[in-house]
Amino acid sequence: MSKWYPKKGRVIFHVDMNSFYASVEMAYNPELKGKPLAIAGNPEERKGIVVTASYEARDKGVKTTMPLWQARRLCPNMIVMRPNFERYRKASREMFSILSQVTPLVQPVSIDEGYMDITDCADQGTPPEIAKWIQDSVMEQLELPCSIGIAPNKFLAKMASDMKKPMGITVLRKRDIPSKLWPMPVREMYGVGEKTAEKLNASHIETIEDLAKADVYALKAKLGINGERLQNRANGIDDRLVDPDAVSEFKSIGNSQTLPHDTTDDNEITKLLRQLSQKVADRMENKEVVSRNIQLMIRYHDRKTITRSKQLPEYISKVEEIYQYAMKLWEDHWNGEPIRLMGVTAQDLSEKQDATMQLDLFTYEHEAKNEKLYSAIGELTDKYGTNPFKKLKDKPKATPTTSFQKDFLDDFKKINRTDKGTN
Protein backbone atom coordinates (compact mmCIF):
# COMPACT_ATOMS: atom_id res chain seq x y z
CA MET A 1 0.00 0.00 0.00
CA SER A 2 2.88 2.39 0.82
CA LYS A 3 4.08 2.38 -2.79
CA TRP A 4 0.76 3.98 -3.77
CA TYR A 5 0.72 6.59 -1.00
CA PRO A 6 4.12 8.29 -0.71
CA LYS A 7 4.88 10.05 2.57
CA LYS A 8 5.80 13.35 0.92
CA GLY A 9 3.84 13.20 -2.33
CA ARG A 10 0.19 13.40 -3.34
CA VAL A 11 -2.20 11.14 -5.20
CA ILE A 12 -4.43 13.09 -7.59
CA PHE A 13 -7.32 11.88 -9.74
CA HIS A 14 -8.69 13.62 -12.81
CA VAL A 15 -12.20 12.30 -13.47
CA ASP A 16 -13.47 13.05 -16.98
CA MET A 17 -16.96 12.06 -18.11
CA ASN A 18 -16.99 10.52 -21.58
CA SER A 19 -19.13 12.24 -24.23
CA PHE A 20 -21.16 13.60 -21.34
CA TYR A 21 -24.26 15.13 -22.95
CA ALA A 22 -24.74 12.25 -25.36
CA SER A 23 -24.12 9.72 -22.59
CA VAL A 24 -26.76 11.36 -20.38
CA GLU A 25 -29.31 11.15 -23.19
CA MET A 26 -28.48 7.46 -23.67
CA ALA A 27 -28.97 6.87 -19.95
CA TYR A 28 -32.44 8.44 -20.17
CA ASN A 29 -33.32 6.55 -23.35
CA PRO A 30 -31.59 3.14 -23.62
CA GLU A 31 -32.77 2.82 -27.24
CA LEU A 32 -30.09 5.38 -28.14
CA LYS A 33 -27.23 3.26 -26.79
CA GLY A 34 -24.79 2.04 -29.41
CA LYS A 35 -26.12 4.47 -32.01
CA PRO A 36 -24.45 7.54 -33.52
CA LEU A 37 -25.89 10.48 -31.58
CA ALA A 38 -25.17 14.20 -31.67
CA ILE A 39 -26.41 16.95 -29.40
CA ALA A 40 -26.83 20.09 -31.50
CA GLY A 41 -27.96 23.63 -30.83
CA ASN A 42 -30.55 23.74 -33.58
CA PRO A 43 -31.14 20.45 -35.41
CA GLU A 44 -33.74 22.01 -37.72
CA GLU A 45 -31.46 24.62 -39.22
CA ARG A 46 -28.44 24.34 -41.45
CA LYS A 47 -26.45 26.63 -39.17
CA GLY A 48 -26.85 24.33 -36.15
CA ILE A 49 -23.59 22.95 -34.78
CA VAL A 50 -22.61 19.87 -32.82
CA VAL A 51 -22.33 20.42 -29.07
CA THR A 52 -21.09 16.88 -28.45
CA ALA A 53 -21.30 13.50 -30.12
CA SER A 54 -21.30 9.87 -29.05
CA TYR A 55 -18.26 7.74 -29.79
CA GLU A 56 -20.23 5.95 -32.52
CA ALA A 57 -20.62 9.31 -34.29
CA ARG A 58 -17.02 10.31 -33.56
CA ASP A 59 -15.84 7.14 -35.26
CA LYS A 60 -17.39 8.56 -38.44
CA GLY A 61 -15.45 11.80 -38.07
CA VAL A 62 -18.06 13.91 -36.26
CA LYS A 63 -16.47 16.47 -33.93
CA THR A 64 -17.61 19.03 -31.39
CA THR A 65 -18.45 22.45 -32.97
CA MET A 66 -18.69 20.90 -36.43
CA PRO A 67 -21.52 22.36 -38.56
CA LEU A 68 -24.47 20.00 -38.45
CA TRP A 69 -24.75 19.77 -42.23
CA GLN A 70 -21.14 18.58 -42.39
CA ALA A 71 -21.68 16.06 -39.59
CA ARG A 72 -24.71 14.62 -41.42
CA ARG A 73 -22.62 14.12 -44.55
CA LEU A 74 -20.09 12.12 -42.55
CA CYS A 75 -22.74 10.17 -40.67
CA PRO A 76 -26.09 10.14 -42.55
CA ASN A 77 -27.81 7.90 -39.98
CA MET A 78 -26.81 10.08 -37.04
CA ILE A 79 -29.54 10.89 -34.52
CA VAL A 80 -29.63 14.58 -33.59
CA MET A 81 -31.15 15.97 -30.39
CA ARG A 82 -31.42 19.37 -28.76
CA PRO A 83 -29.52 19.85 -25.47
CA ASN A 84 -31.40 19.39 -22.21
CA PHE A 85 -29.31 21.40 -19.75
CA GLU A 86 -31.38 20.74 -16.65
CA ARG A 87 -30.93 17.03 -17.29
CA TYR A 88 -27.16 17.45 -17.61
CA ARG A 89 -27.01 19.62 -14.51
CA LYS A 90 -28.79 16.93 -12.47
CA ALA A 91 -26.47 14.20 -13.74
CA SER A 92 -23.43 16.32 -12.93
CA ARG A 93 -24.58 16.98 -9.37
CA GLU A 94 -25.08 13.27 -8.83
CA MET A 95 -21.68 12.46 -10.32
CA PHE A 96 -19.86 14.92 -8.04
CA SER A 97 -21.86 13.60 -5.12
CA ILE A 98 -20.33 10.19 -5.75
CA LEU A 99 -16.83 11.69 -5.89
CA SER A 100 -17.44 13.46 -2.60
CA GLN A 101 -18.13 10.13 -0.93
CA VAL A 102 -14.44 9.33 -1.33
CA THR A 103 -12.94 12.64 -0.20
CA PRO A 104 -14.04 16.22 0.46
CA LEU A 105 -11.08 17.39 -1.66
CA VAL A 106 -12.98 17.57 -4.95
CA GLN A 107 -12.46 20.49 -7.33
CA PRO A 108 -14.84 20.71 -10.31
CA VAL A 109 -13.38 22.46 -13.32
CA SER A 110 -16.44 22.06 -15.53
CA ILE A 111 -19.79 20.32 -15.51
CA ASP A 112 -18.24 17.01 -16.57
CA GLU A 113 -14.75 16.90 -15.08
CA GLY A 114 -12.93 17.52 -11.84
CA TYR A 115 -9.87 16.79 -9.72
CA MET A 116 -9.68 14.79 -6.49
CA ASP A 117 -6.92 14.53 -3.90
CA ILE A 118 -7.05 11.05 -2.37
CA THR A 119 -3.69 11.22 -0.57
CA ASP A 120 -5.36 10.47 2.79
CA CYS A 121 -7.63 7.72 1.51
CA ALA A 122 -5.34 4.71 2.03
CA ASP A 123 -7.97 3.06 4.25
CA GLN A 124 -10.28 2.85 1.20
CA GLY A 125 -7.87 0.85 -0.94
CA THR A 126 -5.21 1.46 -3.56
CA PRO A 127 -5.73 4.32 -6.04
CA PRO A 128 -6.64 1.92 -8.89
CA GLU A 129 -9.17 0.23 -6.59
CA ILE A 130 -10.71 3.57 -5.60
CA ALA A 131 -10.79 4.66 -9.25
CA LYS A 132 -12.52 1.41 -10.22
CA TRP A 133 -15.09 1.95 -7.44
CA ILE A 134 -15.80 5.47 -8.72
CA GLN A 135 -16.06 4.30 -12.30
CA ASP A 136 -18.33 1.39 -11.40
CA SER A 137 -20.50 3.54 -9.10
CA VAL A 138 -21.01 6.23 -11.73
CA MET A 139 -21.88 3.59 -14.30
CA GLU A 140 -24.18 1.56 -12.05
CA GLN A 141 -26.00 4.52 -10.49
CA LEU A 142 -26.08 6.92 -13.43
CA GLU A 143 -25.30 4.69 -16.44
CA LEU A 144 -22.57 7.13 -17.43
CA PRO A 145 -19.01 6.26 -18.52
CA CYS A 146 -15.95 8.12 -17.27
CA SER A 147 -12.18 7.96 -17.59
CA ILE A 148 -9.85 8.54 -14.64
CA GLY A 149 -6.23 9.61 -14.59
CA ILE A 150 -4.11 8.80 -11.52
CA ALA A 151 -0.93 10.78 -10.93
CA PRO A 152 1.10 12.76 -8.38
CA ASN A 153 -0.21 16.12 -9.65
CA LYS A 154 -2.99 17.78 -11.61
CA PHE A 155 -1.20 18.06 -14.94
CA LEU A 156 -0.16 14.42 -15.10
CA ALA A 157 -3.60 13.30 -13.90
CA LYS A 158 -5.23 15.30 -16.70
CA MET A 159 -2.87 13.86 -19.31
CA ALA A 160 -3.50 10.37 -17.94
CA SER A 161 -7.29 10.63 -18.13
CA ASP A 162 -7.03 11.49 -21.83
CA MET A 163 -4.88 8.45 -22.64
CA LYS A 164 -7.71 5.91 -22.61
CA LYS A 165 -11.32 6.73 -23.48
CA PRO A 166 -13.98 5.69 -22.88
CA MET A 167 -13.97 3.95 -19.48
CA GLY A 168 -10.21 4.11 -19.00
CA ILE A 169 -8.16 4.11 -15.81
CA THR A 170 -4.58 5.23 -16.40
CA VAL A 171 -1.74 5.58 -13.92
CA LEU A 172 0.98 8.08 -14.86
CA ARG A 173 3.87 8.19 -12.40
CA LYS A 174 6.85 10.48 -12.76
CA ARG A 175 9.02 7.52 -13.64
CA ASP A 176 6.61 6.81 -16.53
CA ILE A 177 7.13 10.25 -18.08
CA PRO A 178 9.96 9.27 -20.49
CA SER A 179 8.05 6.26 -21.85
CA LYS A 180 4.40 7.44 -21.76
CA LEU A 181 4.44 11.24 -21.94
CA TRP A 182 7.55 12.35 -23.78
CA PRO A 183 6.92 10.50 -27.06
CA MET A 184 3.63 12.38 -27.56
CA PRO A 185 3.47 15.29 -30.05
CA VAL A 186 3.80 18.57 -28.19
CA ARG A 187 0.50 19.79 -29.67
CA GLU A 188 -1.27 17.03 -27.71
CA MET A 189 0.01 18.37 -24.40
CA TYR A 190 -2.60 19.90 -22.11
CA GLY A 191 -2.01 23.66 -22.05
CA VAL A 192 -0.46 23.87 -25.53
CA GLY A 193 -2.77 25.60 -28.00
CA GLU A 194 -2.46 25.62 -31.75
CA LYS A 195 -0.51 28.89 -31.94
CA THR A 196 1.86 27.80 -29.19
CA ALA A 197 2.37 24.48 -30.93
CA GLU A 198 3.23 26.29 -34.16
CA LYS A 199 5.81 28.43 -32.36
CA LEU A 200 7.34 25.38 -30.72
CA ASN A 201 7.40 23.41 -33.98
CA ALA A 202 9.10 26.35 -35.68
CA SER A 203 11.87 25.96 -33.08
CA HIS A 204 12.14 22.23 -33.87
CA ILE A 205 10.27 21.25 -30.71
CA GLU A 206 8.02 18.47 -32.01
CA THR A 207 7.50 16.20 -29.00
CA ILE A 208 6.90 16.73 -25.30
CA GLU A 209 10.41 15.38 -24.72
CA ASP A 210 11.81 18.12 -26.96
CA LEU A 211 9.98 20.66 -24.81
CA ALA A 212 11.18 19.07 -21.57
CA LYS A 213 14.81 19.28 -22.69
CA ALA A 214 14.73 22.62 -24.52
CA ASP A 215 16.74 25.64 -23.43
CA VAL A 216 14.56 27.40 -20.88
CA TYR A 217 15.87 30.87 -21.80
CA ALA A 218 14.95 30.31 -25.45
CA LEU A 219 11.49 29.15 -24.38
CA LYS A 220 10.95 32.23 -22.23
CA ALA A 221 12.13 34.46 -25.06
CA LYS A 222 9.57 32.88 -27.40
CA LEU A 223 6.63 32.26 -25.03
CA GLY A 224 7.30 34.43 -21.99
CA ILE A 225 6.81 32.96 -18.54
CA ASN A 226 4.47 30.39 -20.04
CA GLY A 227 7.47 28.79 -21.76
CA GLU A 228 9.06 27.90 -18.44
CA ARG A 229 5.73 26.78 -17.01
CA LEU A 230 5.10 24.44 -19.94
CA GLN A 231 8.59 23.00 -19.64
CA ASN A 232 8.00 22.30 -15.95
CA ARG A 233 4.79 20.50 -16.83
CA ALA A 234 6.58 18.51 -19.53
CA ASN A 235 8.97 17.36 -16.81
CA GLY A 236 6.06 16.43 -14.55
CA ILE A 237 6.33 19.47 -12.26
CA ASP A 238 3.01 20.95 -11.11
CA ASP A 239 2.45 22.07 -7.52
CA ARG A 240 -1.16 23.28 -7.85
CA LEU A 241 -3.38 22.00 -5.06
CA VAL A 242 -6.82 20.46 -5.41
CA ASP A 243 -8.91 23.27 -3.97
CA PRO A 244 -12.67 22.76 -3.52
CA ASP A 245 -13.07 26.48 -2.78
CA ALA A 246 -11.51 27.41 -6.12
CA VAL A 247 -15.01 26.99 -7.59
CA SER A 248 -16.06 30.37 -6.24
CA GLU A 249 -13.10 32.14 -4.69
CA PHE A 250 -11.03 33.28 -7.64
CA LYS A 251 -9.49 36.66 -6.97
CA SER A 252 -10.04 39.72 -9.10
CA ILE A 253 -7.53 41.79 -11.06
CA GLY A 254 -8.12 45.52 -11.26
CA ASN A 255 -6.48 48.88 -11.81
CA SER A 256 -7.70 52.37 -11.01
CA GLN A 257 -6.31 55.84 -11.57
CA THR A 258 -7.09 59.34 -10.32
CA LEU A 259 -7.30 61.92 -13.06
CA PRO A 260 -5.08 65.02 -12.83
CA HIS A 261 -8.28 67.09 -12.76
CA ASP A 262 -12.02 66.45 -12.69
CA THR A 263 -13.23 66.03 -16.25
CA THR A 264 -16.16 65.32 -18.51
CA ASP A 265 -14.00 65.13 -21.64
CA ASP A 266 -14.94 62.03 -23.64
CA ASN A 267 -11.51 61.72 -25.25
CA GLU A 268 -9.74 61.91 -21.90
CA ILE A 269 -12.05 59.37 -20.33
CA THR A 270 -11.84 57.02 -23.29
CA LYS A 271 -8.05 57.18 -23.24
CA LEU A 272 -7.99 56.35 -19.53
CA LEU A 273 -10.34 53.40 -19.99
CA ARG A 274 -8.06 52.05 -22.70
CA GLN A 275 -5.00 52.39 -20.44
CA LEU A 276 -6.72 50.70 -17.51
CA SER A 277 -7.97 47.89 -19.74
CA GLN A 278 -4.44 47.35 -21.04
CA LYS A 279 -3.02 47.10 -17.52
CA VAL A 280 -5.67 44.58 -16.50
CA ALA A 281 -5.10 42.53 -19.68
CA ASP A 282 -1.33 42.50 -19.10
CA ARG A 283 -1.73 41.27 -15.53
CA MET A 284 -4.21 38.61 -16.62
CA GLU A 285 -1.76 37.40 -19.25
CA ASN A 286 1.02 37.16 -16.70
CA LYS A 287 -1.19 35.14 -14.36
CA GLU A 288 -2.63 33.10 -17.25
CA VAL A 289 -6.24 33.69 -16.25
CA VAL A 290 -9.42 34.66 -18.05
CA SER A 291 -12.45 36.55 -16.76
CA ARG A 292 -16.22 36.16 -16.87
CA ASN A 293 -17.10 39.52 -15.30
CA ILE A 294 -15.93 43.09 -15.95
CA GLN A 295 -16.52 45.82 -13.36
CA LEU A 296 -16.26 49.58 -13.80
CA MET A 297 -15.77 51.98 -10.89
CA ILE A 298 -16.59 55.68 -11.29
CA ARG A 299 -15.76 58.25 -8.62
CA TYR A 300 -17.30 61.66 -9.22
CA HIS A 301 -16.02 65.13 -8.30
CA ASP A 302 -18.03 65.03 -5.05
CA ARG A 303 -16.43 61.66 -4.11
CA LYS A 304 -19.64 59.78 -4.77
CA THR A 305 -18.55 56.35 -6.06
CA ILE A 306 -20.48 53.76 -8.04
CA THR A 307 -19.47 50.32 -9.29
CA ARG A 308 -21.25 48.52 -12.10
CA SER A 309 -20.41 45.11 -13.50
CA LYS A 310 -21.37 42.86 -16.39
CA GLN A 311 -21.50 39.06 -16.22
CA LEU A 312 -20.23 37.84 -19.59
CA PRO A 313 -21.45 34.99 -21.81
CA GLU A 314 -17.86 33.75 -22.27
CA TYR A 315 -14.37 34.02 -20.81
CA ILE A 316 -12.29 36.94 -22.07
CA SER A 317 -8.70 38.12 -21.60
CA LYS A 318 -7.76 40.43 -24.47
CA VAL A 319 -7.48 44.18 -24.02
CA GLU A 320 -9.98 44.86 -26.82
CA GLU A 321 -12.61 42.70 -25.13
CA ILE A 322 -12.05 44.21 -21.69
CA TYR A 323 -12.10 47.73 -23.14
CA GLN A 324 -15.32 47.19 -25.09
CA TYR A 325 -17.19 45.94 -22.02
CA ALA A 326 -15.76 48.72 -19.85
CA MET A 327 -16.85 51.29 -22.44
CA LYS A 328 -20.35 49.82 -22.58
CA LEU A 329 -20.62 50.06 -18.79
CA TRP A 330 -19.40 53.64 -18.99
CA GLU A 331 -21.91 54.58 -21.67
CA ASP A 332 -24.77 52.96 -19.74
CA HIS A 333 -24.02 54.34 -16.27
CA TRP A 334 -22.20 57.70 -16.46
CA ASN A 335 -24.52 60.49 -15.26
CA GLY A 336 -22.62 63.23 -17.10
CA GLU A 337 -20.98 64.80 -14.02
CA PRO A 338 -17.22 65.43 -13.76
CA ILE A 339 -15.08 62.38 -13.00
CA ARG A 340 -12.27 62.24 -10.41
CA LEU A 341 -11.22 58.55 -10.61
CA MET A 342 -11.95 55.45 -12.69
CA GLY A 343 -11.19 51.76 -12.24
CA VAL A 344 -11.53 48.62 -14.35
CA THR A 345 -11.58 45.19 -12.72
CA ALA A 346 -11.73 41.66 -14.15
CA GLN A 347 -13.64 39.34 -11.82
CA ASP A 348 -14.80 35.71 -11.77
CA LEU A 349 -11.35 34.54 -12.85
CA SER A 350 -10.29 31.08 -13.94
CA GLU A 351 -7.01 29.61 -15.14
CA LYS A 352 -6.91 29.61 -18.93
CA GLN A 353 -6.40 25.86 -19.18
CA ASP A 354 -9.29 25.12 -16.82
CA ALA A 355 -11.73 27.62 -18.26
CA THR A 356 -14.76 26.08 -19.94
CA MET A 357 -17.11 27.89 -22.25
CA GLN A 358 -20.75 27.72 -21.21
CA LEU A 359 -22.50 25.20 -23.43
CA ASP A 360 -25.84 26.87 -23.97
CA LEU A 361 -28.08 27.00 -26.97
CA PHE A 362 -27.80 30.75 -27.48
CA THR A 363 -24.02 30.80 -27.58
CA TYR A 364 -23.70 27.92 -30.00
CA GLU A 365 -26.29 29.32 -32.38
CA HIS A 366 -24.70 32.77 -32.24
CA GLU A 367 -21.22 31.43 -32.87
CA ALA A 368 -22.39 29.29 -35.77
CA LYS A 369 -21.89 32.35 -37.99
CA ASN A 370 -18.12 32.06 -37.55
CA GLU A 371 -17.75 29.04 -39.81
CA LYS A 372 -14.09 29.69 -40.58
CA LEU A 373 -13.31 28.97 -36.95
CA TYR A 374 -14.85 25.50 -36.88
CA SER A 375 -11.75 23.47 -37.65
CA ALA A 376 -9.50 25.50 -35.36
CA ILE A 377 -11.99 25.39 -32.49
CA GLY A 378 -12.49 21.68 -32.99
CA GLU A 379 -8.76 21.15 -32.58
CA LEU A 380 -8.69 23.29 -29.45
CA THR A 381 -11.65 21.41 -28.02
CA ASP A 382 -9.95 18.08 -28.65
CA LYS A 383 -6.76 19.40 -27.08
CA TYR A 384 -8.20 20.93 -23.94
CA GLY A 385 -11.37 18.93 -23.39
CA THR A 386 -13.25 22.22 -23.41
CA ASN A 387 -14.58 24.61 -25.99
CA PRO A 388 -12.76 27.98 -25.83
CA PHE A 389 -15.20 29.88 -28.11
CA LYS A 390 -14.58 33.58 -28.38
CA LYS A 391 -16.65 36.16 -30.22
CA LEU A 392 -15.25 38.00 -33.19
CA LYS A 393 -17.58 40.99 -33.02
CA ASP A 394 -16.11 44.46 -32.63
CA LYS A 395 -18.65 45.40 -30.01
CA PRO A 396 -20.41 43.22 -27.45
CA LYS A 397 -24.05 42.47 -28.16
CA ALA A 398 -26.81 42.14 -25.63
CA THR A 399 -26.68 38.50 -24.53
CA PRO A 400 -28.24 36.43 -21.79
CA THR A 401 -26.26 36.75 -18.56
CA THR A 402 -27.32 33.36 -17.24
CA SER A 403 -24.40 30.98 -17.53
CA PHE A 404 -25.17 27.28 -17.49
CA GLN A 405 -21.59 26.54 -16.48
CA LYS A 406 -21.50 29.15 -13.69
CA ASP A 407 -24.91 28.10 -12.40
CA PHE A 408 -23.59 24.58 -12.03
CA LEU A 409 -20.50 25.75 -10.14
CA ASP A 410 -22.66 27.91 -7.90
CA ASP A 411 -24.81 24.88 -7.15
CA PHE A 412 -21.73 22.89 -6.19
CA LYS A 413 -20.58 25.72 -3.91
CA LYS A 414 -23.95 25.83 -2.13
CA ILE A 415 -24.02 22.06 -1.69
CA ASN A 416 -20.51 22.15 -0.21
CA ARG A 417 -21.47 24.86 2.25
CA THR A 418 -24.56 22.94 3.33
CA ASP A 419 -22.53 19.77 3.81
CA LYS A 420 -19.89 21.60 5.86
CA GLY A 421 -22.58 23.14 8.02
CA THR A 422 -24.08 19.76 8.88
CA ASN A 423 -20.84 17.96 9.64
Name the binding residues for Mg(2+): 16, 112
* CA–CA separation, 236 and 298 (whole Å): 45
Q: Are 410 and 111 in contact (CB under 8 A)?
A: no
CA distance 261 to 255: 18
Q: How far apart are the first and last CA of the chain?
A: 29
The amino acid sitting at 349 is L
* Region at 252 (left for phi over 0; alpha for psi -120 to 50; beta for the rest): beta
Other CB atoms within 10 A of residue 63 CB: 20
Q: Which residues are annotated as a binding site?
A: 16, 112
* Catalytic residue, candidates 113, 314, 321, 367: 113
Helix, strand, coil share of the chain (percent; to 5):
45, 20, 35
In angstroms, the CA 408 to CA 412 distance is 6
Q: DSSP E strands: which ranges in 134-211?
A: 146-151, 169-171
Per DSSP, the residues of 139-173 read HHHH---EEEEEESSHHHHHHHHTSSTTT-EEE--
Decide if 191 contacts 237 (C-beta within 8 A): no
Asked about 113 being catalytic, the answer comes back as: yes
For residue 135, which of 14, 38, 221, 41 has the smallest C-alpha distance?
A: 14
Sheet containing 113-117, strands listed edge to edge, beginning at the edge strand earlier in sequence: 106-110, 113-117, 12-17, 146-151, 169-171
| Amino acid (one-letter) located at 77 | N
334: nearest Cα among 296, 360, 367, 371: 296
- Say if CB 350 and CB 287 are below 8 A apart: no
CA 59 to centroid of chain Cα atoms: 25
- Listed residue (20, 14, 108) closest to 413, CA to CA: 108
Q: How far is CA 267 from the centre of its chain?
A: 37
- Distance from CA of residue 56 to its chain's centroid? 25
Active site members: 113
